[in-house]
């Protein structure tokens, strides 16, 4: 289990048992965890985490700009590496989020942040929206037809061949892109509906 977020994700479907691999004193152990669920869906694992206090220092404007660029590049790099998860056998309907789930998560992050104060709420919401913007930028640069990344590929091909691509080839390329994007949207919306259905089911 790499982190608590991964554990929470596994608990969304309320499994009866969890196979846990953990490390202690340089050795690897395996165990079976049997979670207990309350009437409201709350889970009791019988384990807890040590709270870590993080202090964000005040920065001068030029320092904030440098840190923003650094954090943007770090987030972009993580988003690129996370694309490999789509080919590792995971449920794509859970890996791809559509507008419904994104809107819900924005509201959830904002509500959680504002419950701790206005400053914390604004910071949390701005950070989450920045994360979405970076992810959309990265997705738009993928070498898929009809996306900017696909257009860049076509421009590179025209530069290599030193002549425009045949209109029929461009048409097939764009049609393929529409099919791929439509398929991703289908999985995203299907995943959103199932995600919200699970939330509503746990709340009832």
- What is the SS3 assignment for 45? coil
Does 192 lie in the same domain as 138?
A: yes
The band of 131, judged by pLDDT with boundaries at 50, 70 and 90, is confident
The tokens for 91 are: 């449920």
State residue 67 phi and psi, 5-degree precision.
Answer: -65, -40
DSSP assignments along 22-36, one per residue: EEETTEEEEEEE--E
What does DSSP assign to residue 36? E
List, for residues 152-166, the tens digit of each pLDDT value.
888 888 888 888 878
List, for residues 73-111, the tens digit of each pLDDT value.
887 887 777 766 666 655 555 566 777 777 777 777 777
Structurally, the chain folds into a number of domains equal to: 2
Does 26 lie in the same domain as 58?
A: no
Q: What is the CA radius of gyration of the chain?
A: 22
Does 74 lie in the same domain as 41?
A: no
Res 203: pLDDT:
56
> Cα–Cα distance between 77 and 90 in angstroms, integer?
20
Most distant CA atoms of the chain, gap in Å: 67
List Cβ<8 Å contacts ≥24 apart for 4-7: 4/49
Does 32 lie in the same domain as 62?
A: no
The tokens for 66 are: 């440098």
Structural domain that includes position 33:
1-53
Does 160 lie in the same domain as 98?
A: yes
Q: What is the pTM of this model?
A: 0.55
């Amino acid at each position: 289990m790499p982190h608590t977020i991964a554990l929470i994700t596994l608990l969304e479907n309320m499994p009866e048992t969890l196979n846990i691999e953990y490390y202690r004193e340089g050795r690897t152990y395996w165990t079976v965890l049997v979670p207990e669920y309350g009437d409201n869906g709350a889970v009791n694992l019988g384990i807890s985490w040590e709270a870590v206090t993080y202090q964000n220092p005040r920065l001068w404007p030029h320092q904030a700009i440098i840190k923003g660029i650094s954090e943007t590049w770090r987030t972009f790099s993580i988003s690129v590496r996370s694309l490999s998860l789509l080919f590792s056998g995971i449920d794509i309907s859970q890996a791809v989020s559509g507008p419904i789930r994104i809107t819900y998560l924005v509201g959830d992050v904002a509500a959680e942040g504002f419950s701790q104060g206005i400053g914390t709420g604004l910071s949390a919401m701005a950070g989450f929206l920045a994360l979405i913007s970076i992810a959309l930028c990265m997705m738009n640069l993928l070498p898929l037809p009809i996306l900017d990344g696909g257009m860049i590929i076509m421009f590179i091909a025209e530069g290599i061949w030193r002549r425009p691509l045949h209109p029929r080839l461009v048409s097939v390329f764009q049609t393929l892109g529409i099919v791929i994007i439509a398929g991703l949207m289908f999985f995203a919306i299907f995943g959103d509906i199932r995600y919200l259905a699970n939330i509503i089911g746990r709340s009832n």
